[in-house]
Structure 1
Amino acid sequence: MLGLGALVLAAIFFGAAIYINIAEHPARLKLGDGAALAQWEPAYKRGYAMQASLAIASGLLGLAAWWTSGQWLWGAGAAVMMANWPYTLVVIMPVNHQLEATAPADASAETRALLIRWGWLHAGRSALGGIAMIIFLDVISMRM
């Protein structure tokens, strides 16, 4: 059950992350520079809270599944899922801080370039979620 919970939460995380890359962020980039930045800020804050919680919960359930089963793949999936935290803090946060320091009225082509970069960096989070989900799915399928 712990592993199934880890898989479900990883799948929700991946679905939310890939939605941002495929639908939300491209739509945001259709707006003008100031409007795109104004939309990014609250969307990011809400998305961060949701995805951070999902990454931690999925990772903890994966660790618990590893602890109780001894199957190392649960731990590997948990590590990949939890890698979203340092990846976000080290790689994405510097871009976030630059975007947050810009008022929408002051947005420019440089702001747009940062938003585009942010989208590519966020794709890394999507990839980590997808990889963790596949690992969890793999270990579950081995048990069947």
Structure 2
Amino acid sequence: MRHVALVTLVVDDYDEAIRFYTGPLGFRLAEDEPRPDGSRWVVVEPDALGGVAAGHGTGLLLARAKDEEQRARVGDQTGGRVGFFLHTDDFARDHARMAAAGVTFLEEPRQEPYGTVAVFRDLYGNRWDLLQPAG
């Protein structure tokens, strides 16, 4: 079996990013290890709330920007498009919890043929879909 294990997300600050992803988004901190070069190996992943057991989905590798070129990409890694998709088995529950925690939704929830969806921004401005797939 093969699957995408990690996706890198360039961030300004490890601890700030960890607080956002483990707080308002409800992810869990899977790894946080110092590296010899002074960086850290930081992985967050969705918890089992959405019906996926921890450690069995795609995690985010939170990578602190190392230079100006990387800092310019923070918050706009996909050119303003939705680049990340957070699936849930209970849209209403997660939408309400995230909104109460201060997550900025860019639209009202809507029904599409593929499910219930609303676009939100993460801490840095990257666009995400909160999505409960149809069926």
Q: TM-score category by the smaller chain?
A: under 0.3
From the two aligned structures, give the one with the greater helix fraction. 1
From the two aligned structures, give the one with the greater strand fraction. 2
Q: Highest Rg: 1 or 2?
A: 1
User: Under a length normalisation based on structure 1, what TM-score does the superposition of the two structures give?
Assistant: 0.26
